[in-house]
């Protein structure tokens, strides 16, 4: 569950969204409205999954399991009424 009330100050963390404003000659009070860069913490479930994966200690190449494709196909159908073939 997201906590939309918690303010996360990402300035000074090498965040392209916030820390390049002045370098790009933008006013200091500009409000960057990037779509793909959120200012909310990830849900605990995502953090836990990442920690579990990191603790394995091996970062080789992986493949996407069938469930991944099924989830994407289902999401595209539900959200956009668009049929995607697995192939």
Return d(Cα 26, Cα 19) in angstroms, integer: 11
Q: In the prediction, which pLDDT does 42 show?
A: 86
User: Is 60 domain-assigned?
Assistant: yes
User: Is 63 domain-assigned?
Assistant: yes
pTM: 0.54
User: Is 42 domain-assigned?
Assistant: yes
User: Is 1 domain-assigned?
Assistant: no
Domain with 52, as residue range(s), is 16-80
User: Is 3 domain-assigned?
Assistant: no
How many folded domains does the chain comprise? 1
What separation in angstroms does the CA of 11 have from each of 7, 16, 17, 18, 37? 12, 9, 9, 6, 13
User: Is 70 domain-assigned?
Assistant: yes
User: Is 87 domain-assigned?
Assistant: no
Q: Residue-wise pLDDT tens for the chain (87 aa)?
A: 677 888 889 889 998 888 888 888 889 888 888 777 888 888 899 999 999 999 999 988 989 998 999 999 999 999 999 999 998
Q: In the prediction, which pLDDT does 79 show?
A: 96
């Amino acid at each position: 569950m997201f906590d939309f009330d918690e303010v996360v100050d990402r300035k000074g963390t090498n965040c392209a969204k916030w820390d390049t404003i002045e370098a790009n000659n933008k006013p200091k009070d500009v409000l960057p409205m990037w779509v793909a860069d959120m200012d909310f913490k990830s849900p605990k479930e995502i953090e836990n999954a990442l920690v579990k994966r990191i603790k394995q200690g091996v970062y080789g190449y992986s493949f996407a399991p069938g469930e991944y494709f099924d989830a994407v196909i289902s999401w595209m159908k539900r959200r956009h009424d668009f049929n995607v073939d697995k192939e």
